Amino acid sequence: MPTSVCAVPPSMTGPLPAGKPSRPARVAGWAGLVLIGLAVSVMLAIALLGPSAAVPNVGGPPPWSWRAGPSDTLAVQLGWVAMITGGLGVGVALHALRRGWRPARGVLLAGVLLAVPAMALVPPAGSTDVLNYAVYGRIAALGHDPYITTPSWLFKIGDPVGVFAPQAWRHTPSVYGPLATWAQMAASRLGGDSMAGTVLAFKIITAVAFLLSALMLDRLAGPDRGRRARVHLLWSLNPLMLWHVVLGGHIDGLGAFFLIAAFLALRGGGLAGGFGSGVLLAAAATVKAPFILAGAGLMWAARKRFTALAAMLMGLGAALVAAYATQGPEALDNVAGKIGSRSLADPWRLITDAMGLGVQSSVLEGRLALGAALVIGLLLCWGLPEGPEGLGSVRPALAWCLCWLLTSPVQHPWYDAMLFPMLALMPAGRLDGLLVARGVVTSLIYLPGGAAILSPTAFTQWISETYRPLVAPLAADLIILCLVVLSVARALRHRRPVPRPAAKVAEDTGEPD
């Protein structure tokens, strides 16, 4: 049986052999869980130490942390330990899972119920974005338009929330969708005139969305213990997602919730399922626009039933129009304004720096990104392993979301909240290790996350002078190259997936593919 370029041998993805897993597999599995637990513990320690280079000040002495004042170097080093240990733990546990190890469901459930609430209740770490959410929510709650009014207005009038607005975004209006603005406003009303209270409210909202996403993924995985363990290792117990979505409070977790719900709705089939899936996809896109890319997979799954596809497009269009009709034209303008910008994790940095383009975005970079995204998207559609039965939308959705995230000049590790839920539903493969490694590499770029300027030490200077401009972009480019080479190798062999049996399980739309 031929294997996909991203798939592991059939023995690793097919039915498990009879009997218990080998002792090395059991040892590796538990070692992976221990590493994950260690990473989560270090993350909580970073937050509990109080304001630092990794933890932004949210005003007053928060009752859930100390003010230990750790040095910048210690904050960065703890973050590096957490990211590397967490990524290694997920990789080791997934390896054991492919070798037949199956953790008790109660162990995974206990880990989730301990880690998620704890991270929701401590101060944010690794980013100041949740403070920006609080400020935009405050502007909306006061009756102003966050797509026009900038945080600098709140800062200048001495608003108790606005005075904590991060410097980097004070003159930038909101670039998030209408549904994101409503969530931010809800958190502001719950938190009142306190930045700490607003941040806590928003983190609880994202934590609830994260837990509900885990529940839906568990249902989509079906009764198989291995598939259910896989979704928890790659989502609800993945330290990379816990750090960015729950502890960091990034709004991408809310978008992921609606995206997963769209997959679940489409699996129900019928007109209602198609329409509901379109509405939920629109909800994800009105949190953050790039979630709309997953629509390629949802539409592909519904392609053989015109009525279901039409209902999906109707739901998508109606929900998008209704959401943006509540805002002025600036809401769309601000989202479109993100096109052409770049970030620290820009994969084209080595090329543009070598050409002397510096930090300025360029037409060349945009063309490179668009061309590479199209090529890699097509290669991934060819080379990814067959998606799970009954969820034909996952494979193409992952392909097109991944090609954009791999090649976009604007990249942040919390954007992976769009990828890991779909990856968790796919069969085990080489893609697992590549995306976990990519998540670690990009996460390290943004550490510590709470301070723009660090105390100059040998370690912090190495990060700013070597890791960010050279090591990280090179690693990101190597990951892209690995995917391209593997996909091209499969295409040159002219191998095609073995056709499914005639009496197979229906796909999302209720019809065979």
Question: What pLDDT, in 10s, does the model give residues 318-362?
Answer: 999 999 999 989 999 998 877 767 778 788 877 777 776 665 556
pLDDT band at 480 (very low <50, low <70, confident <90, very high): confident
How far does CA 367 lie from the centroid of its chain? 25
Whether the bond between 385 and the residue before it is cis, its omega within 30 degrees of 0, is: no
55-77 burial: b if 16+ Cβ within 10 Å, else e? bbbbbeebeebeeeebebbbbbb
The half-sphere exposure of 34 on its side-chain side, counting CA atoms within 13 A, is 6
Distance CA 241, CA 247 (A): 9
pLDDT band at 15 (very low <50, low <70, confident <90, very high): very low
Residue written as token pair 């405050």: 138
Residue 340, both tokens:
């052409």
Average pLDDT over every residue of 483-496: 67
The half-sphere exposure of 192 on its side-chain side, counting CA atoms within 13 A, is 2
Average pLDDT over every residue of 120-138: 96
Q: Which residues contact 125 (CB under 8 A, 6 or more apart)?
A: 43, 46, 47, 54, 55, 243, 247, 248, 449, 450
Among 47-51, 130-134, 312-316, 481-485, which is the least confidently predicted range? 481-485
Contact (Cβ atoms closer than 8 angstroms) between residue 124 and residue 58:
yes
The half-sphere exposure of 196 on its side-chain side, counting CA atoms within 13 A, is 15
Distance CA 471, CA 342 (A): 17
Confidence check: pLDDT of 495 > 80: no
Tens digits of residue pLDDT in 277-292? 999 999 999 999 999 9
pLDDT band at 54 (very low <50, low <70, confident <90, very high): very high
Confidence check: pLDDT of 5 > 60: no
Distance CA 163, CA 158 (A): 6
Q: Share the mean pLDDT of the chain.
A: 87
- Please work out, in degrees rounded to the nearest 5, the angle formed at the alpha carbon of residue 492 by the alpha carbons of 486 and 496: 85
Contact (Cβ atoms closer than 8 angstroms) between residue 284 and residue 259:
yes
The pTM of this model reads 0.90
